[in-house]
Every structure is written in C-alpha cells, then in structure tokens.
Amino acid sequence: MDTLFVIPARGGSKGIPGKNIKLLNGKPLIQYSIDYALQFVPASQICVSTDSTDIVEVAEACGVPVNFIRPGQLASDHSGTYEVLMHALEHHQPGKEWKKLVLLQPTSPFRERRHLEEAMAEMSDDLDMVVSVSLSKNNPYFNLFEEDKEGFLQVSKKTEGITRRQDAPEVYAYNGSIYVIRVGAFFEYPGFASFQKIRKYVMEPEYSVDLDTPRDWAFAEFLFTQEFLH
C-alpha cells in the first residue's frame, strides 16, 4: 500500500505517431503497462501521467481513473522523466506519503509478473533505485570508441590485457522496462544521474524491447508470434 505505480504517456511522438495508444497485437500500447500494474496494486495506486485526452480515455477504459492532466511544459521532447515523476507524486493523491515508486514506461510492453517481483525483492530501504537492464554487447573496454583530439578512434576505456570481448568486464544498458525507486531519493538528489545507490535487475534480451521506431514496432509485432510470449 506504500507503492505508487506511474505510467508516463504523453500524446506527442515523432518516431511512431500516437504510439502510446496505437494498437499492438490488438491492444493499445499503454494497456500492456496498465494491465501489468493491475496485477500488483488497485487502480487507486496507479497514476497515468499524460497531457492527452485521448490517452485519458484509453486509460479509464482500462479501469484506471486519471486524476490530473500533465501540463504542456512537462510534455515536450525536452521534458525530463524525473520532473514528470515529481509532478505525479505531487498531484496523484496529494498529501499521500509514498515510500516507493514503480515506473513502467508504456514503450516496454514485454514484462512477466516475475520480473517486477524479482526486482522488488532486490529493493531495500538503503537503496535509491533498482533498475532493469540488459547485458550489453557493446563494451567500452573492447568495441566502443571515441575520437581523440586528432580525430582518431581510441577505445573508450583503456585497460591493459583486454584483447578479447570475453576478457572485458560485463557492462549493462538500462532497458527502460522497470524502475523501482525510493521516493525519498527524489527529495535528496536533483536527478537520476545523482543517485548514489543503484542496483541492477537483469532481464532477458527478448523482453528488453523499447519501442521508439517503426522498426522496433515491427519487431514487437513479430515477437507476439513467438511461443515464449504465450
């Protein structure tokens, strides 16, 4: 009862127009995250933050009332997720003291119940955040490069003795699917980049799909034909 689920979904999208309510395998994209949240908490603990009345209609049709409309200054291409979440904390049930916030981005529709259960199990009162990641094939010790002052490529992180990818330390990329955040961290730090204590929750590559381009969307449609999702 101390956890707020936030699903941020603005109306504008350049890569895939109207993607948050675009039908994916027959369902509006945002419904995947709403249905997922409803497995864990009642609708009163789910906040859909949006500037779009069309998204409000879809969210409420899925059983989640929308208590406020996100202001335009928090719905542009330059709006930060951190500020959007702060706004949600202030405007969804004002005065309620939440201890944890779960961020579910609608652009990550592939989650199983166990994913959040396992991520929540990693969370503790002394952490700022547990975040879902995928193991990255690109590695700054081996195959990621930067230009030097003369314009020549140099490996991003130089370490003696690394000549094979297998010898390089594992690195991870946020996959955008699940964030479990200690609410107190919002008031202690100016942004996510300032968080000090973050632990990873590794998700399988097939679930680490973030829909940003038409190609991503086509791949997501393909995944629904695969047996592991059934």
Domains and CATH numbers, the chain: 3-136+171-217 (3.90.550.10), 137-170 (no CATH)
pLDDT interval class at 229 (50, 70, 90) = low
Q: Count CB neighbours of 170 within 10 A.
A: 9
Tell me, what's the pLDDT at 226?
83
Q: Which amino acid is at 222?
A: F
Q: How far apart are CA 86 and CA 187, in angstroms?
A: 9
The pLDDT tens digits for 36-79 are: 999 999 999 999 999 999 999 999 999 999 999 998 888 877 77
Could you give the percent of the chain with pLDDT greater than 90? 80
Q: Is the pLDDT of residue 23 over 60?
A: yes
Could you tell me the two tokens for 117?
Answer: 């259960």
Burial-class residue 112 by CB neighbours within 10 Å (0-12, 13-18, 19+): middle
CA angle 212, 218, 224 (to 5 degrees): 110
Q: How far apart are CA 47 and CA 92, in angstroms?
A: 7
Mean pLDDT of the chain: 93
1 or 229: which leads in pLDDT: 1
Q: Is the pLDDT of residue 230 over 70?
A: no
Q: How far apart are CA 193 and CA 179, in angstroms?
A: 14
Tell me, what's the pLDDT at 85?
96
Q: Which amino acid is at 16?
A: I
73 or 200: which leads in pLDDT: 200
Q: Is the pLDDT of residue 86 over 80?
A: yes
For every residue of 6-41, DSSP letters joined together read EEE--S--SSSTTGGGSEETTEEHHHHHHHHHHTTS
pTM, whole model, 2 decimals?
Answer: 0.93
pLDDT interval class at 172 (50, 70, 90) = very high
Closest to 52 measured CA to CA, from 98, 11, 9, 102: 11
Q: Is 131 left (phi over 0), alpha (psi -120 to 50) or beta?
A: beta
Q: Taking residues 131-135, what's their average pLDDT?
A: 97
Q: Taking residues 5-16, what's their average pLDDT?
A: 90
